[in-house]
Amino acid sequence: MSTVVIVGTQWGDEGKGMVVDLIAQQADMVVRYQGGDNAGHTVVVDGQATKLHNIPSGVLHEGTDCVIGDGVVINPRVLLEEIAELKNRGLLGGETSLRISRRAHVILPWHMDLDRAADAAKGDRRIGTTGRGIGPAYQSKMGRTGLRFGEFVEADTLADFIHCAIGEYNALLDFYNASPLDPVSIIAEYREYAEKLRPYACNTYRLIGEAVRAGRKVLFEGAHGTLLDIDHGTYPYVTSSNCVSGAVCTGAGVGPRSIHKIYGVVKAYTTRVGEGPFPTELTDELGAKLGQVGNEFGTTTGRKRRCGWLDLVITKYAAQLSDLTDLVITKLDVLDDFDEIKICTGYEVDGVVSDEMPAEAKNLAKVTPVYETLPGWKAGTCELTSYDDLPENAKKYLARIEDFLGIPVTIISVGPGRNQTIALKEYFD
Ligand code: GDP
Ligand code: IMO
Ligand code: MG
């Protein structure tokens, strides 16, 4: 079997897009299985950055089939913009190179308006969502009132659906003092989107299942990060989908035995966008330096990312939840110029140190991180292509991570470019 899963082990933005692009060089198919356009995955090839929100990050490789699976929520306008941009650049071929599940759900205008209005109304308790309508769209799905992609593209049922649903959503928008929406203009706009997206609609479970069974190389691209997972993350400061590797099964329509290798992407330090507890956050000049050297601004919202030291408590938690087989360490180069580098290996609460992840956000906010301090390497790594050439202290940093987690580091990234990576093992084996 030749399947690989990529998951984020922190609060997102670990560099998953870059890793997917790298491994997709050898993949036959890349599948997104959860989340929506709240994801922002950056791929840099020959100095040119491509930012992807809906479309799998394998799209830059000709001949790689891209699939958007059952568990994804889709914003048709954003998706069409992405398709148009990629087509303009000659990067997306005929309709068959992108397939979209008929079971995926559609994000509608009221989802976006409600997301923004409801989060703003929370005041101090706001989540700081991306405002893309993700929470409300998954609420509709779970409440069994959502619009699935298959029904959406059959435009004859669209008008009926919008007319039936609009009353409830306009009442909710009114509750938040937001403007009501006009069903007639939504129908006209979304009919046009449906027309353009119809050729991509597909029963993707068959396509994926056949590829897996035939031994084709299939790469499952996770979005967000483990600590943003709806069940396992820092609830309620999370997104509304499952971000752990198990979500591949429900979100792509494959069984657990179809999963072979699971890469956890670990940024060499930690970042977070939006609200919520972050034990190793640095609000001093060291945090500012990480943000500046790492260029830590959100791909989707442009917001400044909060920065801090690597937290191995959360990474260990992520490793267990997703059964990681391999680690990818990204942005190692960002640490090139630090005298000392800290790693959090435990949380202290009332004098007791533990590496257990508290279930409640308010309890996580109370922990004091326990650090190990390692010497920096004070040398440039971004042009290195072999593990042997890494500075000794960089090797020690990586070894400590491997040792603590008990999982091998098999890919190291030292820059945003496709070629700025050191691979220690075959991706599909
Ligand atoms: P994703 O959401 O996990 O795909 O990550 P993002 O694309 O949102 O954010 C990661 C950012 O770091 C992007 O701008 C990447 O181009 C960049 N990046 C990825 N790997 C490296 C690396 O090893 N070093 C540096 N300096 N930048 C990297
Ligand atoms: P990628 O795939 C970083 C965060 C938001 C917010 C919370 C809820 O690029 O790693 P939502 O709009 O999902 O309801 O927002 O989740 N968030 C992300 N942070 N990277 C992401 O995706 C994120 N997706 C959601 O900032 O705090
Ligand atoms: Mg991102």
Please tell me the predicted confidence (pLDDT) of residue 155. 75
Residues near ion ligand 3 (CB < 5 Å) are: 13, 40, 299
Quick check: 95 pLDDT over 80? Answer: no
What mean pLDDT comes out for the span 326-349?
98
Q: Which atom of ligand 1 is nearest to the CA of 298?
A: 8
Confidence of residue 96 (pLDDT cuts 50, 70, 90): low
Q: Tokens at residue 178, please?
A: 């937001």
Please tell me the predicted confidence (pLDDT) of residue 92. 86
Q: Is 41 in the active site?
A: yes
What mean pLDDT comes out for the span 271-288?
97
Distance (Å, rounded) from C-alpha 73 to C-alpha 35? 6
Residue 350, Cβ neighbours under 10 Å: how many?
Answer: 6
pLDDT single digits (tens) 124-165: 999 999 999 999 999 999 999 999 999 999 978 899 999 999
Second CATH level (architecture) for the domain 267-423:
Alpha-Beta Complex (3.90)
**Residue 235, ligand 2, Cβ within 6 A:** no
Quick check: 86 pLDDT over 80? Answer: yes
Local structure of 32: helix, strand or coil? strand
Among 88, 75, 95, 301, which Cα is nearest to 189's? Answer: 75
**Residue 273, ligand 2, Cβ within 6 A:** yes
Angle (nearest 5°) at CA 189 between 183 and 193: 130
Cβ atoms of 180 and 170 within 8 Å: the answer is yes
Q: Is 160 in the active site?
A: no
DSSP state at residue 384 = -
Distance (Å, rounded) from C-alpha 147 to C-alpha 149? 7
Please tell me the predicted confidence (pLDDT) of residue 1. 73
**Residue 127, ligand 2, Cβ within 6 A:** yes
Distance (Å, rounded) from C-alpha 208 to C-alpha 223? 18
The average confidence (pLDDT) of the chain is: 96
Domain 3-104+200-261 is in which class?
A: alpha beta
Taking each helix axis from N to C end, the angle separating 312-322 and 392-405, rounded to the nearest 10 degrees, works out to 50
Confidence of residue 376 (pLDDT cuts 50, 70, 90): very high
Confidence of residue 300 (pLDDT cuts 50, 70, 90): confident
105-197 to CATH, choices 3.40.710.10, 1.10.300.10, 2.40.400.10, 3.40.50.300: 1.10.300.10
Q: Which atom of ligand 2 is nearest to the CA of 303?
A: 26
* Residue 78: burial class (beta carbons within 10 Å; 0-12, 13-18, 19+): middle
Confidence of residue 218 (pLDDT cuts 50, 70, 90): very high
What mean pLDDT comes out for the span 194-218?
97
Query: Which three-class secondary structure string do you get for 163-183?
Result: HHHHHHHHHHHHHCCCCCCCH
Please tell me which residue in 21, 28, 37, 41 is annotated as part of the active site: 41
Confidence of residue 45 (pLDDT cuts 50, 70, 90): very high
Per-domain residue ranges of the chain? 3-104+200-261, 105-197, 267-423
What mean pLDDT comes out for the span 400-412?
98
The single residue listed with the structure tokens 């991706």 is 427
Mutate to test the pocket of ligand 2, among 75, 238, 239 (most ligand atoms within 8 A of CB): 239
DSSP state at residue 281 = B
Local structure of 391: helix, strand or coil? coil
Quick check: 312 pLDDT over 80? Answer: yes
The single residue listed with the structure tokens 């470019």 is 417
Quick check: 38 pLDDT over 70? Answer: yes
Cβ atoms of 292 and 255 within 8 Å: the answer is no
Closest ligand relative to 230 C-alpha: 2
Please tell me the predicted confidence (pLDDT) of residue 299. 78
What mean pLDDT comes out for the span 16-35?
97
The answer to whether the Cα torsion of 419, 423, 427, 429 is positive or negative is positive
| Residue-by-residue DSSP string for 47-96 | TEEEEESSS-TTTTSTT-EEEE-TTBEE-HHHHHHHHHHHHHTT---SGG
The answer to whether the Cα torsion of 278, 142, 169, 103 is positive or negative is positive
Do the bridges between strand 340-349 and strand 368-375 make them parallel or antiparallel, or are there none, so unpaired?
antiparallel
Quick check: 388 pLDDT over 80? Answer: yes
pLDDT single digits (tens) 219-244: 999 999 999 999 999 999 999 999 99
**Residue 197, ligand 2, Cβ within 6 A:** no
